[in-house]
Every structure is written in structure tokens, then in C-alpha cells.
Chain A
């Protein structure tokens, strides 16, 4: 039962263009979403997050959009740079009424390759 899904295993874009990574979820109780970035042989690092009370959050070149009715979120990277090449994971958590343990549910990941 995959509650968080990233249906695109990989994405290839040209440097300077926009990268759009997508994520869908099925559990309507999720109310907070995060994106992590992972380089090979390193642990994932936090990138950006969004609460379910918002539909957009921006941090520099990174913007996350949330469409609650569609249970869909996306990460936009503009402009893309070769150093952005990594695996990107979306994650979700149920805060309201959930446990205090803060258990994140992750998607399968999308490999982003940005070509110079």
C-alpha cells in the first residue's frame, strides 16, 4: 500500500530550464509535506516543506505547490543547475491527530539529471 507515489523514476532537463517533480498521495490525513534531496553515498537532506493550509511555498530556486483536492504536490526548480542532479524524495506526515513520533512516509524517489 504505497501511500506516497512518485510515478516518474527519472527526469532529464537542460541546464537553465525548469525541472518539475511530481508526487501523489492517497492518505487524506496527511497534512504536512516535505521534499528531500539525496546524492549517492550520502543521506537525504531536507529541501523544502509545505503545510496543508498553504498551496505554495517558495525558497530561492525551489517552489513546492500543493493541490489538496487532487492529492498532488510538485517541486519546481528554476533555473535547474547541474548540481541539482540527485534523487528527490517527497514525504508526508499526519500531524493533526497523529502520534508524536513524527513518522514520515516517503515516495519511491525521482532521479533528476540536469545536463550542462
Chain B
């Protein structure tokens, strides 16, 4: 069964800390995505990557960066965490070709205090 694994289910961090959210997929997918989910706002795209070492900004990249050193791993970095980054973070991957749906990880609930 294909899998997208997010390293942490719940995280609590302090304002100003640097935060790393890790995501690993075992499907050899080229495309990987980071979304955040907030009530009333749905899923908003932060960053995505279509290949190793390649990255593109999504709709809300401010305050975030990403790293993709290996095909299977896509990391989201909060350079200096702030309380408005408290959210559910979802990683997803997608293979190429005619399959358009994503496979999502279980999410990381991040609370910044």
C-alpha cells in the first residue's frame, strides 16, 4: 500500500523557534506538496516540488521554506515560528502521467505558543 508519512502527528513549538516538518513517500513520485488546513479556508498550498532540488512557491509561501534533497523526502521549514502558523499541515505526493489525485499524509497539528 502506498504511503506518505509525516514524522510528527502533534508538535508544540515556541514563537521564534525554527521548525522542521518532515514528509517521506515510498511511491517514487516526482511531485510533492505542502498544504495547510485552516477552518473556513480549506487547503492552501504553501510550496511544491516537481523534482529533486526543485521547488516552487504556492499561494501562501511567506514565512516558510522547503528542502528536497532526495526524491522521497520533502521538508517544510518555518524559519521563525509565529502564532499565526498554528495549523494542520498536510503533505501530499503525486506521480506523473494521467493520475491527478494526490496521496496525503496523516497531517501534523502544529501549535505555536
Chain A residues with a Cβ under 8 A of chain B: 4, 6, 9, 32, 34, 36, 41-46, 49, 89, 93, 95, 99-109
Q: Which residues of A contact B105 (CB under 8 A)?
A: 43
> A93, B50: Cβ atoms under 8 Å?
no
B41 touches A43 (CB 8 A): no
Question: Could you say which of B56, B103, B109 contacts A41, with CB atoms under 8 Å apart?
Answer: B109
> Closest residue to A9 on the B side, CB-wise?
B40
Taking Cβ atoms with an 8 Å cutoff, the residues of B that contact A are 4, 9, 31, 33, 35, 37, 40-45, 48, 50, 56, 58, 90, 92, 94, 96, 100-107, 109
Residue from B31, B43, B90, B104 with most neighbouring chain A CB atoms (10 Å): B43
Q: Would you call A101 and B102 a contact (CB within 8 A)?
A: no
18 A-B pairs whose Cβ atoms sit less than 8 Å apart in the complex = A6-B42, A32-B100, A41-B106, A43-B92, A44-B43, A44-B104, A46-B102, A49-B101, A93-B100, A101-B31, A101-B48, A102-B31, A102-B102, A103-B48, A103-B58, A104-B100, A104-B102, A106-B42
Q: Are A41 and B107 in contact (CB-based, < 8 A)?
A: yes
Residues from chain B with Cβ under 8 Å of A109 in the complex: 37, 42-43
Q: Among A9, A44, A105, A108, which residue has its beta carbon within 8 angstroms of that of B90?
A: A44
Known: A43-B4, A43-B106. 7 other contacts (CB 8 A): A6-B42, A41-B9, A44-B102, A45-B104, A46-B102, A101-B50, A103-B48
From A43, A89, A109, residue with most partner B Cβ within 10 Å: A43
Considering the chains assembled together, what is the distance between the CA atoms of A107 and B102 in angstroms?
Answer: 15
Contacts of B101 in A (CB 8 A): 34, 46, 49
Q: B50 to A42, Cβ gap below 8 A? A: no
The chain B residue sitting closest to A42, CB to CB, is B106
- Taking a contact as CB atoms under 8 Å apart, the answer to whether A108 and B48 are in contact is no
Residues of chain A contacted by B43 (CB below 8 angstroms): 44, 89, 106, 109
B107 touches A42 (CB 8 A): yes
List the B side residues contacting A46 at CB < 8 Å.
101-103
Contacting residue for B100 out of A42, A43, A89, A102, CB 8 A:
A102
